[in-house]
Amino acid sequence: MAASPLDVFDWTSHPPYDYAPYRSTARRSPREALLPMPERMRNLRAPVYGADRLGALDHDLTRNAVRNGAPLGERIIVIGRVLDERNKPVAGALVEVWQANAAGRYVHKGDQHDAPLDPNFLGAGRCVTDANGVYRFLTIKPGAYPWGNHPNAWRPNHIHFSLFGDYFASRLVTQMYFPGDPLLAFDPMVQGVPEQARERLISRFSLDVTEEGYALGYVFDIVLRGAAQTPMETKR
């Protein structure tokens, strides 16, 4: 009998499915054995996500939804490499991002946070890694927002990442945080990740990536497997 995905999972790098301080996991985490992926889907190769239909501005969140002006907030550049367990670049991976605007509000009907929406900011983008595994996004630094998990609960500034590889089942969903954010110490999603792996979720400020007079630069490398793998998003 094949081993269960839970049996071979590296729990030293990833958060538990059920983490009591993150209250939603009590009802959203699996209670039964996971079902194996059907063979016909497991081996379904790319393109399964329409990468050939990427738009010229899909990677630029400061321009891909502009209606009557630039979005409000601090412009930033987020760049990084997608690597495998041997530190080799992963080319052709679809990288998708989504985030709150500078005021901490998502463009989603479920977000009722009392903060303004920005008509010039959608908060979503995508790109494909190049031959060196590099991706690059232009965006606005997201704001913190309350989320009701516990008294006075605020999510740190963060950007959601989703990566698709060559296969249908090869997906990683994670979050990128910013250095020096005081909310990291109080956030159950961050604290649920084993301590030795938390730094892998925090981007690095880079003056080399920063563009003079335009935007600050942050580097966030993503490792898909192995001892240095990037932790997945806490299961919800």
Q: Walk across the sheet containing 171-177 and list its strands.
A: 124-128, 94-98, 158-164, 171-177
As a whole number of angstroms, the distance between CA 134 and CA 223 comes to 12
Exactly one of 106, 135, 177, 218 is catalytic; name it: 106
Exactly one of 135, 160, 177, 218 is catalytic; name it: 160
Cβ(81)–Cβ(221) under 8 Å? yes
> Rounded to 5 degrees, what are φ and ψ at 25?
-65, -20
Angle of CA points 145, 146, 149, to nearest 5°: 135
Cβ(202)–Cβ(177) under 8 Å? yes
Query: Minimal CA–CA distance to 215: which of 206, 204, 227, 225?
Result: 206
Query: Is 106 designated active site?
Result: yes
Exactly one of 14, 155, 200, 218 is catalytic; name it: 155
Exactly one of 158, 177, 200, 218 is catalytic; name it: 158
As a whole number of angstroms, the distance between CA 58 and CA 55 comes to 5
Query: Is 31 designated active site?
Result: no
Exactly one of 22, 135, 145, 218 is catalytic; name it: 145
> What are the catalytic residues?
106, 145, 155, 158, 160
